A and B are shown apart, each in its own frame.
Chain A
Amino acid sequence: MLHQAEKEDTMAEIEIGRLLRAGTTGCVIGCRVSQLDIPVFGGLVSIPLESGYQVYGLIHDIHIDDDGLVRQLVTTPSLSEDVLLDNRINRNVPVEISVLFCGYAQAGRISHLLPPRPPLSLDAIYTCSQEELVRFTGAGQFGYFRHVLRNEEIPLGELLAAHLEQAGLAHSAAGNSVWIRSATQELITLLRDDYPSLVGVLSALRDAQIPNF
């Protein structure tokens, strides 16, 4: 079971959807369009599991599918507001959010290894609070970066820039202004043999709003 502190923290977070499918390294969440203003690209999410641990992951893709009706409506000269809202609120076309697993917590201890088993269909997914973001990213030595760097199908530079921007602000607000510098240094070390990726990541980081970068 989850520890009381973890439970309370989870309660303060916002449910953004439920799990559609998952594997060892990641999962896809389905959510309604009306829930879409909460999850953001690069955001850290958590999935509390009944077996007493919770899985952490980074949002690396937000995918909005079309269907026959949407394809037809998109060419309508003056789309009625009622139709627009109906499609966004009622229709069963979920927004798909792809999450890359980057660690888990068990009995209050955070690990940057992949979770022992993936979550199950319809498990609820929550955004992480600022405190939880600081706790997860501040634990260990940035071990979770390797899950991001290993994946060749994600926009690496953009994802890291978005994540570091969010995490950097959270650490800064918590009084830790050196975290962002350490994180960047770690990335440079990890990518020292992959110059094209390193240039891409640094270029993206320059565009991010990261204090003291």
Chain B
Amino acid sequence: MPVNYQDIKQQIKQNVSQMRLQQVERNARLELAQRLLEQYAGEVEFLQQRVEVVSRLFGLRCARPLYEPLDFCAEAPIDHACPVVLAADGSQVNPSRHDEVVFGLINVGLFRMMPGQPATEVADGHLFSDDELYPAQGGMINEDLVALKRDLRERNFLLEKAHQEDELVLALVDGPLFYRKPRDVSGAYADAELEKAFAEFLNVNNKLAHHGIAMVGYVDKPGADLLIRLLELADTPPSELAQADKHRPLRRVSDVNLLGKFLAPGQRSAVFALESTDARIFSEQTKPHFFYLNVGTATKSYLVRVEIPAWVARDTELTGTIHAVLLEQCRMMGQKPYPYALYRAHEIALVTFKEKQQIGEMIAFELRRQGQMPEGGSNKQSAKDAASGGKGRYNG
């Protein structure tokens, strides 16, 4: 049966009608957020103390100001260092028992740019061994662990390549810099594997910091409300702080909604620390920090979040360099700003469906060559493939 478009159309009308009403409410909340921002902009010490107090009461995820006021905005420095930009991105094939052969793959692409030098690219593929696919205690590697291993390989690849550079290196990755450890992983062994991989992840972050390699996480179209949560905390009466997690007068307003009102194109916001249970796991040097950056144009604002480790956040000159380099990178892409180096790293890393099929066929071929038969795909997968295959036409 195809989708019932008539029915869906009716639901679309209702949803859009509700969204209009919600938008009116959100605008009112945004105005309140702006007033609170003005009120608490310079109260950095008070806000730091408030976060400190509340974080002891319950698990909190919000922004913590460092030294710049909340409404701080800065242009990129005109004179800045010209670092080597190393961008890494990873792509993975999650193993599926429905495929003809079960395999998992991580492919990491790395792109290097340095003004005046030819850009270079390199890819690093890793096929999971049988032991990696099937932990000793049973079950198959899960998607969370594959994703963590992918991020780990990205960091290790960056570390390895950055070591070969003599100049300052900006190591750029797509998405948040700081991996949030999944908590719903079932199975004792899987947990142990995850713990091990996560410990390695923290370790490689420490190594990157130790060698002065500036990691930068570029979060496109961020939906977070870290600064908004800070304002809600500031607005909570002291007697109600224990219930501050339920005090949400600015619900559904995002940081981008708020900062988009005053960050001009090319400007960055204040640098904040990311206060969260996950962030506390990181070492003092690598604790997550961030700022917002308007990479848009005079006609169209576009805010992104830039994540940096603590040691970079403390270095205003280096933060300025990251600000300037990211703007340059985004401007290379024209109408749809996004760091060019990251785009290229993604392009290098990407494992397409066709490539996945090809690798599957190569494994099946090798199995047969060595006298083993591939397990074969599931009937469910065959049925799905048949259903999505479309109708044939008789051509005579």
- Could you tell me which A residues sit within 8 Å of B by CB distance? 69, 72-73, 75-77, 79-80, 82-83, 85-86, 89-91
Contact = CB atoms under 8 A, between A and B. Distances in A.
A77 B334 contact: yes
A72 B119 contact: no
Nearest to A74: B334
A72 B121 contact: no
Contact of A85 (B119, B335, B336, B340): B119
B344 A75 contact: no
B28 interface: no
Contact of A73 (B113, B118, B333): B333
B334 A73 contact: yes
B393 to A, nearest CB: 25
A80 B332 contact: yes
Contacts, number: 39
Given A69-B347, A83-B340, A90 B119 contact: yes
B343 to A, nearest CB: 7
A72 B118 contact: no
- Most A CB within 10 A of own CB, among B120, B343, B344: B344
Contact of B334 (A72, A82, A85, A91): A72
B115 interface: yes
A72 B120 contact: no
A190 B335 CA distance: 54
Contacts of A83: 332, 340
A148 to B, nearest CB: 32
Contacts of B336: 72
27 contacts: A72-B333, A72-B334, A73-B334, A75-B334, A75-B335, A76-B331, A76-B332, A76-B333, A76-B334, A76-B335, A80-B332, A82-B113, A82-B115, A82-B332, A83-B332, A83-B340, A85-B118, A85-B119, A86-B113, A86-B119, A89-B118, A90-B119, A90-B120, A90-B121, A90-B344, A91-B344, A91-B347
Contacts of A69: 343, 347
B98 to A, nearest CB: 30
B299 to A, nearest CB: 13
A33 B121 CA distance: 17
Contacts of B340: 83
A69 B344 CA distance: 9
Contacts of A80: 332
A68 B367 CA distance: 38
A82 B118 CA distance: 7
Contacts of B120: 90
State the 10 A-B residue pairs at the shortest beta-carbon distance, nearest first.
A76-B334, A86-B119, A83-B332, A80-B332, A90-B121, A75-B334, A72-B334, A75-B335, A82-B119, A85-B118
Contacts of B119: 82, 85-86, 89-90
A89 B113 CA distance: 13
A69 B335 CA distance: 11
A130 to B, nearest CB: 33
Interface string B109-134: 00001010011110000000000000
B305 to A, nearest CB: 23
A86 B344 contact: yes
Contacts of A77: 334
Contacts of A76: 331-335
- Most A CB within 10 A of own CB, among B113, B331, B334: B334
- Most B CB within 10 A of own CB, among A77, A79, A86: A86
Contacts of A89: 118-119
A38 B249 CA distance: 68
B312 to A, nearest CB: 24
Contacts of B115: 82
Given A72-B335, A75-B335, 16 more contacts: A69-B347, A72-B334, A73-B332, A73-B333, A76-B331, A76-B332, A76-B335, A79-B332, A82-B115, A83-B332, A83-B340, A85-B119, A86-B113, A86-B118, A86-B119, A89-B119
Interface string B126-159: 0000000000000000000000000000000000
Contacts of B335: 72, 75-76
A82 B325 CA distance: 14
A119 to B, nearest CB: 22
A128 to B, nearest CB: 31
Nearest to A69: B343
A69 B334 CA distance: 10
Contacts of B332: 73, 76, 79-80, 82-83
A103 to B, nearest CB: 35
